[in-house]
Amino acid sequence: MKDLDDHERSVFKQIIQGMAANSLRCIAFAHTQMSEEQYEEGMEENKLKENSLTLLGLVGIKDPCRPGVRRAVEDCQHAGVNIKMITGDNVFTARAIAIECGILKPGQDMFSGAVVEGEEFRNYTSEERMEKADKICVMARSSPLDKLLMVRCLKQKGHVVAVTGDGTNDAPALKEADIGLSMGIQGTEVAKESSDIVILDDNFASVATVLRWGRCVYNNIQKFIQFQLTVNVAALVINFVAAVSAGEVPLTAVQLLWVNLIMDTLGALALATEQPTTELMDKPPVGRTEPLITNIMWRNILAQALYQIAVLLTLQFKGESIFGVTEKVNDTLIFNTFVLCQVFNEFNARKLEKKNVFKGIHENKLFLGIIWITIVLQVLMVEFLKKFADTERLNWAQWVLCIGVAAITWPIGCVVKLIPVAEKPIFSYLN
């Protein structure tokens, strides 16, 4: 048995590269004859020596991309997520699979820095790794250490890093990443224990779903915080100014408890149950250092709170003379207007930036149900629980007045969203 000459090696190399370029994983078949003594020796060493083998042939195995993977990759990239593929395949196979999945564009070649081998990345200096980490799209012939080094480099550059994996070797990178996603079917127990999220169907398309739901939860938290801060600021200022100037507060303890119930329990249920929309994938990712309360939220909070404060303080000091009512009726007008302002402002809180706050509202039956429950309970508080809530009954004209004043929060919210705000957080200017 002779070794392959240069020509034969070149032929086989071309065949292997041709298969790899078509995203085929190559396997070589070879055999050799062994004596009984050699066989027993090989069994003891638990391996077969790789010399004097006769090559039988090559075969290419295709592991096709699952349906929906390319679309999921495009969705993630559209959402501003930079996807990198780190694999043990050779560079030609890895490049072909990356192009097929949409991770790598056909024009990007291995000389542009988008495709590297694990050994090359491992041998970079720390400065070179930090410089080239963002440019790399595909890393072939990689080891678990290479994956871990990539995660650490990206985190040091300030990126929020998510890692997917299913093997035991992926555990270090899964644990090091900000978000580790393991596969629930083929994933090992070590990988699952090291991850934060287990994808039950082993489908990369579920990563896009995780991204969409993660942004939805974050966005819903922002909506609730905006709504809650508006109520808090308005209630605090009104009671403080009234207490300092008149020596008494317009909102009683029971009324404040009812407002607190609207603000916390019912408000959370209404705003935190919004379903994810495709619009969420149009926004860029939120950095790890960005504040939860954005400039857009501060703009909305201040506009609504200032309007409510202005209206309610006017009622507090001039309501009796303007409408010719008693003090008790005037306090009820203040309480009723304040609560209805929060009901109308819940619609504004649904959309932090969009002017049309009613878009998709019919899809959230729970939100509409809570709004109606709040209105019904408010009517009961004012009209039928006079002693408990310390209120007086209002006539139809007074109810229309309260509703009309509260409804102005809608056009105010629409106009305010036309005001541009700086992208840089407010508090960063103060530092």
Task: State pLDDT tens for residues 93-130.
Answer: 888 888 888 888 876 665 577 889 999 999 999 889 99
Statement to judge: residues 58 and 76 lie in one domain: no
CA atoms of 269 and 224, how far apart (whole Å): 9
Statement to judge: residues 226 and 370 lie in one domain: yes
Statement to judge: residues 46 and 94 lie in one domain: no
Of residues 36 and 415, more confidence is placed in 415
Confidence band (pLDDT; 50, 70, 90) for 431? very low
Confidence band (pLDDT; 50, 70, 90) for 2? low
What pLDDT score does 38 carry?
60
What pLDDT score does 306 carry?
95
Three-state secondary structure call for residue 276: coil
Statement to judge: residues 219 and 256 lie in one domain: yes
Statement to judge: residues 216 and 204 lie in one domain: no
Tens digit of each residue's pLDDT (9 = 90 or more) over 234-274: 988 988 888 888 777 888 888 888 888 877 788 888 888 88
Statement to judge: residues 117 and 55 lie in one domain: no
Statement to judge: residues 314 and 195 lie in one domain: no
Domain contains 298: yes
Tens digit of each residue's pLDDT (9 = 90 or more) over 36-59: 666 665 555 545 666 677 888 888
C-alpha distances in angstroms, 376 versus 112, 168, 220?
Answer: 65, 57, 25
Percentage of the chain lying above the pLDDT 90 cut:
36
Statement to judge: residues 415 and 278 lie in one domain: yes
CA atoms of 23 and 47, how far apart (whole Å): 29
Confidence band (pLDDT; 50, 70, 90) for 187? confident
CA atoms of 194 and 401, how far apart (whole Å): 59
CA atoms of 183 and 363, how far apart (whole Å): 32
Three-state secondary structure call for residue 200: coil
Residue 199 near residue 216, CB atoms below 8 Å: no
Three-state secondary structure call for residue 183: strand
Range of the domain at 169: 69-208
Backbone angles phi, psi at 24, to 5 degrees: -100, 135
Domain contains 405: yes
> How many domains does the structure of the chain reveal?
3
Count the residues in the chain.
431
Residue 107 near residue 311, CB atoms below 8 Å: no
Across the chain, what does the average pLDDT equal? 85
Statement to judge: residues 40 and 153 lie in one domain: no
Confidence band (pLDDT; 50, 70, 90) for 182? very high
Percentage of the chain lying above the pLDDT 70 cut:
92
* Tokens matching residue 174: 């899964």
Statement to judge: residues 216 and 177 lie in one domain: no
CATH number at residue 253: 1.20.1110.10
Query: What contacts 52, CB < 8 A, 6 or more positions away?
Result: 1, 32
What pLDDT score does 47 carry?
58
